[in-house]
C-alpha cells in the first residue's frame, strides 16, 4: 500500500514514546513514594522533622514503622517516636542494618529510615542503605528518610571547598533527585561564629539549589512523559560563553550574582578553536579557572559551528540566559553577512542573550 514503506522512523518513534509512557506510568503506580529531609549541616533538626511527620501520619491512621534510627536521640525525638511501631534492625557483624526481608513481610505503608548515607557491612543484602531503600520502594513501600548535603557524592567537592571536610560514605545525587519530594530543613543550628555562619549560608544556598533542581527534573520528566517540549525550567540557568578575548571575570561575576539571587545554576563553556596563540591558550585556562572558582559547571566543547554547538548545549541543559562577549567593531564582511552574535540571538528562541562589550 502507498505510504506503508519507507524508513518507518516516525512510527517507530511514536511506538517507543508510547512504550516509555506506559512503562513510566506502571512504575509510578506500583513504586512507593520517597521523601527526603535534606540538612545542609548537622544540628538543623532533620531527624526530628522526619519522625514528627511519621508521628502525624500514624495519628491520621497510616501504617508507619520505624526501620532505622540514629544511636543517640534527643528527648523531642523520643516523644515523637514513643508510640510508633519498630521493625528492629539486623545485627551484621555488630553493625545495625535495615531488616529489608522483615519489612517486605510486614509491608507497612511507610518506613522511617533516619540516615540514608550508611554503608552496610560485608554480608549484608545490599552494599549501601540507599539500595535497601530502593528495594522497599520497588516493592511499593513508601520511605521517609534523611541526609546531609555533605553525604551526596556530587556535592562533596563543593562541601570540601566550604568546610574542608570529606565524608567516607555517600549517596549518588541521582538517587536523591529521584525522590518524589525533597525538603530542606532550614531551622538554624546553635549560634555560630562569623566564619561558621558564612559556611552555613553557603551550604544552605547549595541545598536550596539542589532542591530546586529536583523540582526541575520532576517537571522535565512530566513534560517528556506527556510529550510536551519546553526550554524553560523553574529556576534560572545561566550559561557564560568564554573566549580568549572575552571579559570572562565580569560575565562570571554577574552570572554568579544572578544565579544566587534566583537560586539558579551557573554554567561556563568554551568551544574549542583552532590555531590559538600561546597567549590565547593561557587566557582560556585563566577563564576556566575563574569559572570553577565561581562554582560553575565547566565544559569544553567541540564543534565546527560554534553557534550551533552553544545552542545545542543550552537546550540540553535548559539554559534560560546566555552571557556572551562581543567586540563592537565590525569589519565589512560582518556588515554584509551578519555576525555570529546576531545569529545566536536570532536562533536562541526563548533563551535570553545578554551581551557584554569587550
* Structural domains for the chain: 31-225 (3.40.50.300), 237-357 (3.40.50.620)
Q: Buried b vs exposed e over 120-156: b needs ≥16 C-beta within 10 Å?
A: beeebebebbbbbbbbbbeeebbbbbbbbbbbbbebb
Residue whose C-alpha is closest to residue 48's, from 171, 159, 189: 189
How far CA 278 is from CA of 62, 274, 275, 288, 292, in Å, comes to 67, 12, 10, 16, 21
Q: What is the pLDDT of residue 11?
A: 44
Q: Report residue 12's pLDDT band, with 50, 70 and 90 as the boundaries.
A: very low
Q: What is the pLDDT of residue 58?
A: 96
Least trusted range by pLDDT, from 171-175, 250-254, 329-333: 329-333
Q: What is the pLDDT of residue 341?
A: 85
Q: Report residue 7's pLDDT band, with 50, 70 and 90 as the boundaries.
A: very low
pLDDT over 90 percentage in the chain: 47
pLDDT over 70 percentage in the chain: 81
Q: What is the pLDDT of residue 201?
A: 85
Amino acid at each position: 500500500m502507498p505510504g506503508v514503506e519507507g524508513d518507518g522512523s516516525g512510527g517507530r518513534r511514536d511506538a517507543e514514546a508510547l512504550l516509555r509512557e506506559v512503562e513510566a506510568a506502571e512504575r509510578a503506580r506500583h513504586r512507593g513514594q520517597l521523601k527526603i529531609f535534606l540538612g545542609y549541616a548537622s544540628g538543623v533538626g532533620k531527624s526530628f522533622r522526619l519522625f514528627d511527620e511519621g508521628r502525624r501520619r500514624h495519628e491520621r491512621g497510616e501504617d508507619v514503622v520505624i526501620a532505622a534510627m540514629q544511636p543517640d536521640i534527643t528527648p523531642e525525638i523520643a516523644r515523637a517516636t514513643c508510640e510508633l511501631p519498630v521493625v528492629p534492625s539486623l545485627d551484621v557483624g555488630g553493625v545495625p542494618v535495615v531488616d529489608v526481608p522483615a519489612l517486605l513481610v510486614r509491608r507497612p505503608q511507610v518506613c522511617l529510615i533516619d540516615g540514608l548515607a550508611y554503608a552496610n557491612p560485608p554480608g549484608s543484602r545490599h552494599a549501601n542503605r540507599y539500595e535497601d531503600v530502593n528495594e522497599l520502594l520497588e516493592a511499593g513501600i513508601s520511605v521517609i528518610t534523611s541526609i546531609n548535603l555533605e553525604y551526596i557524592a556530587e556535592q562533596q567537592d563543593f562541601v570540601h571547598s566550604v568546610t574542608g571536610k570529606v565524608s567516607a560514605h555517600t549517596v549518588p545525587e541521582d538517587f536523591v533527585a529521584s525522590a518524589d519530594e525533597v525538603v530542606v530543613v532550614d531551622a538554624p543550628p546553635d549560634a555560630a561564629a562569623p566564619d561558621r555562619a558564612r559556611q552555613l549560608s553557603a551550604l544552605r544556598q547549595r541545598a536550596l539549589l539542589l532542591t530546586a533542581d529536583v523540582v526541575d527534573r520532576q517537571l522535565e520528566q512530566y513534560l517528556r512523559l506527556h510529550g510536551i517540549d519546553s526550554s524553560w525550567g523553574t529556576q534560572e540557568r545561566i550559561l557564560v560563553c568564554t573566549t580568549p578575548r572575552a571579559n570572562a571575570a565580569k560575565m562570571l561575576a554577574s552570572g554568579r550574582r544572578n544565579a544566587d539571587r534566583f537560586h539558579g545554576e551557573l554554567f561556563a563553556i568554551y568551544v574549542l578553536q583552532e590555531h590559538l596563540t600561546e597567549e590565547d591558550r593561557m587566557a582560556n585556562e585563566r577563564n576556566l579557572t575563574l569559572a570553577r572558582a565561581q562554582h560553575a559547571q565547566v565544559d569544553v566543547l567541540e564543534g565546527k559551528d560554534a553557534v550551533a554547538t552553544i545552542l545545542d548545549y543550552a537546550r540540553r541543559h535548559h539554559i534560560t540566559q546566555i552571557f556572551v562577549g562581543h567586540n563592537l567593531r565590525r569589519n565589512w564582511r560582518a556588515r554584509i553577512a551578519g555576525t555570529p552574535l546576531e545569529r545566536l540571538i536570532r536562533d536562541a528562541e526563548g533563551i535570553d542573550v545578554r551581551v557584554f562589550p569587550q
